[in-house]
Structure 1
Amino acid sequence: MSTGIRFRLSFMMFLEFFIWGSWFVTLGTFLGANLNATGTQIATAFSTQSFGAIIAPFIIGLIADRYFNAEKILGLLHLVGGGLMFLLYQSTDFTAFYPMLLLYMILYMPTLALVNSVSFNQMKDPEKDFSSIRVWGTIGWIVAGLAISYAFTWDTAENIANGFLKNTFLMAGIAAVILGLFSFTLPATPPKADRSQKLKVSEILGLDALRLLKERNFAVFFISSILICIPLAFYYQNANPFLTEIGVTNPTGKMTIGQISEALFLLLLPIFFKRFGFKKTLLLGMIAWVLRYILFALGNADSGLFLLIIGIALHGICYDFFFVSGQIYTDSKAGEKFKSAAQGLITLATYGIGMLIGFFVAGKVSDMYLAADGSHTWESIWMIPAGIAAVVVVFFLIFFKDESKKATNLS
């Protein structure tokens, strides 16, 4: 890969996740403080990610893979998305905000697959080259968080009260327009699917891989993947409002510690796989979810700040050791015939079904522990996802059996 192409792909990844990180982390805080949204309404807003994840395969499978170059669709989706971000920036009530956010996420979620397609199309050895490109996405998310907290200070109590947090949508919109225009300079990535071949809905959604569920271990892993997304949704939806409400300074910037941890543990993952195997690695990831929420329940903005920082830093273990490990495990089980279908299925199950349930539960729990003065009983809120994660740990520990030999591919 030439230096020029590597730079363009890296910049593409940087902007792709800079856009998402610009507004997604602070969404719950913005909606509660500036649009007076309830916990259930905030959950509904976050659920747009799940609906986008469910609809994305249709856009990719029916359009991108069959009719148009991936980089051109990427550019068009981000240009339209940039326009929607400017409209979100101008929104003053939740009723007008929600449908625009839903449309935006329906357009944005397919771009996650498109940037991968553009990247893989330029790589002779994806296993070697992709991580060095993809890490720029994590850096983009980190830079967005640091900019919000330290460059613009939009997430201070005073600036939130004055409505400055809406500027996160403006920042995301400008970045989306830049990426939309830049996408047309990316290497050509033409469609590879045979248009004459009839495409089945089951293929688009990865439902052909459902036969993998006949194997007990994969079925246990599949159920665990859906259930563990409930605690994950609590983090995405409530972490920033929680830190803001209890008075932690620069909460968005501090949350970037989670992405730094994610990048670090991604590099350590192969070592854990080799030494402990899949089951123990996955269990460690789930146990980290339990520990993280207990730390959140015990921590505070003063003497207990270090507990909150440790909880945030556990994000690398929580995410990489379960979700990335799960993708690798799914790939090993699927065999050549069902690799794409299996990854599509696990994505649909986690970011679609699992997160949809998780956001709903998180919203209901937030409203349940909401006081008349607008504050929350956060200790009680965080113990609920900790308990759910603990149940998933016990379920997985009992029913998933250690595999002494290499997974047998299903063909």
Structure 2
Amino acid sequence: MKNAVRAQLCSMMFLEFFIWGAWFVTLGTFLGNNLQATDGEIALAFSTQSWGAIIAPFVIGIIADRYFNAERILGVLHLLGAVLMYLMYESSAFEGFYILVLAYMIVYMPTLALVNSVSFNQMKNPAKEFSLVRVFGTLGWIVAGLSISFIFHWDKGESIEQGFLKNTFLMTALASLLLGLFSFTLPKTPPKVIRSKNVTIKEILGLDSLGLFKDRNFLVFFLSSVLICIPLAFYYQNANPFLVEIGMDNATGKMTIGQISEIAFMLLLPYFFTKFGFKKTILVAMGAWVLRYMLFAYGNVNELGFMLIIGIALHGICYDFFFVSGQIYTDSKAGEAYKSSAQGLITLATYGIGMLIGFWIAGKISTWYLLEDGTHIWKTIWMYPAGFAFVVFVLFAIFFKTEKIDYQS
């Protein structure tokens, strides 16, 4: 791959995840403080990510794979996203905001697959080349969080009260506009599926890989993937409002420690996976989820502030050791015929079904433990995902049988 093309792909990945991290992390804090949304309404807003993930396969399967170049669709979607983000910036009531954020997620979630398609199309050896491009996406998320906390100071108490946090949507709109225009300069990525071939709903949703459920281990892994995303939703939905509410300075910037650890553990994953195997890698990830929520439950911003930082830093293990390992495992089990559909099925189950349930439960529990002064009993709230993750840990340890997985770094 030419250096100029690699630079284009790295820039594309940087902007793609800068856009996501620039508003999604602080969404709960913004809604609660600026639009006076209830915990249930905040859960509804976060669940739009899941609806976007559920609808995304239709966009990719019907349109991107069959009719138009991936880079052109990427450009159009981000230009539409820029408009929606600006309208979200102008919103003053949750009802109107919710419609906009739902529309935005339906537009944005397909772009996650499109940037991968554009990248893979330019690579001779994706196994070696892709990680060096994808890491710029993580850097984009980090830069977004650091900008909010340490450059613009939008997530500080006084700034939140004055409504400055809504500027995250304006910043995202500008970044979306930039990526939308930039996408039309990316290397051409034409559709690879023959148009005349009949497409079925079963193929689009990855349901042609359902035969994999005949393998007991894969079925256990699939169900565990759905279940573990329920406690994961608590982190995405509640972490930033929790840290801001208990008084952590520069909470959004400090949450980027999770993405920094993600880079480190991504480099460690091949060694750990090869030495200890898939089952132990997954169990370490699930155990890290339990530990993270326990640290949040018992930590504070004073003498136990280090517990909160450790809990944030565990994101690298939680994400890489579960999701990336799961993608490797799914790829090894699927075979050539079902590689893409199997990955689509797992994505639908986790970011779609699993997190959709998780956001709903997180909203309900947060409402139960809301005090009259507007604060929450966070210790009790965090014990729920900790306990749930522990149950999934035990079930996976019992029912998943150790097996050797072929893995090439």
Give the TM-score normalised by structure 2. Answer: 0.99
Match of 2:304 in 1: 304
CA deviation after TM superposition for structure 1 residue 340, in Å: 0.6
- Give the distance between the partners of 2:20 and 2:236, measured in 1 at CA: 12
1:30 matched residue in structure 2: 30
Provide the residue aligned with 1:173 in structure 2. 173
Moved more, 208-217 or 97-106: 208-217
**Structure 1 residue 406 displacement after superposition:** 4.3
Q: Residue type of the partner of 1:310? A: I
Q: CA RMSD, aligned part only?
A: 0.7
1:52 aligns with 2:38: no
1:275 deviates by 1.1
Find the aligned partners of 2:300 and 2:13 in 1 and give their Cα distance: 35
Q: Is the 8 A contact 2:277 2:405 kept in 1?
A: no
Q: Which residue of 1 aligns with 2:233?
A: 233
> Who is 1:18 aligned against?
18
Map of 2:265 onto structure 1: 265
Confirm whether residue 358 of structure 1 aligns to residue 384 of structure 2. no
Divergent runs of 4+, >4 A:
none
Cα distance between partner residues in 1 of 2:127 and 2:308 = 35
Paired position in structure 1 for 2:329: 329
CA apart distance, 1:138:
0.2
Other structure's SS at 1:194 match: coil
**Counterpart residue type for residue 184 of structure 1:** F
Structure 2: unaligned runs, 5 residues or longer: none
* Aligned residue in 1 for 2:320: 320
1:192 maps to 192
CA–CA separation in structure 2 for the residues paired with 1:398 and 1:192: 42
**Distance of 2:51 and 2:284 partners within structure 1:** 29
Instruction: Give the CA deviation at 1:289.
Output: 0.2
SS class of match (2:165) = helix
Q: How does 1:1-400 map to 2 (within 5 A)?
A: 1-400=1-400
Offset from partner CA, 1:254-307 (integer Å, 9 cap, x none): 000000001110110011111111000000000000000000001111111100
1:360-403 Cα offsets, whole Å, 9 max, x none, are 00000100100000000000000000000000001001101111
Question: What SS class does the counterpart of residue 47 from structure 1 fall into?
Answer: helix
Q: How many residue pairs were aligned? A: 406
Following TM superposition, by how much is the alpha carbon of 1:214 offset from its aligned partner in structure 2, in angstroms? 1.1
Deviations 1:20-72 (A, max 9, x none): 00000000000001111111100000000000000001001100111111001
Distance in 1, Cα, partners of 2:303 & 2:106: 42
Partners of 2:401 and 2:203 lie apart in 1 by 29
What amino acid does structure 1 have at the position aligned with 2:91? S
Q: Distance in 1 between matches of 2:190 and 2:338?
A: 23
Against the structure 1 CA distance between its residues 207 and 308, is the aligned structure 2 distance closer, same or farther, given a 3 Å change threshold? Answer: same
Task: Output the CA distance in 2 between the equivalents of 1:323 and 1:244.
Answer: 28
Q: Distance in 1 between matches of 2:242 and 2:361?
A: 16
SS of the residue corresponding to residue 116 of structure 1 reads: helix
* CA distance in structure 2 between the aligned counterparts of 1:329 and 1:75, rounded to whole angstroms: 32
Amino acid of the structure 2 residue aligned with 1:337:
A
Counterpart-to-counterpart distance in 1, 2:141 and 2:120: 21
* Alpha-carbon separation, structure 1, partners of 2:2 and 2:220: 43
Counterparts of 2:35 and 2:211, CA distance in 1? 45
Q: TM-score when scaled to structure 1?
A: 0.98
Which amino acid is the alignment partner of residue 278 of structure 2? F
**Take 2:8 and 2:129, find their aligned partners in 1: how far apart are those partners?**
14
What letter is aligned with 1:208? Answer: D
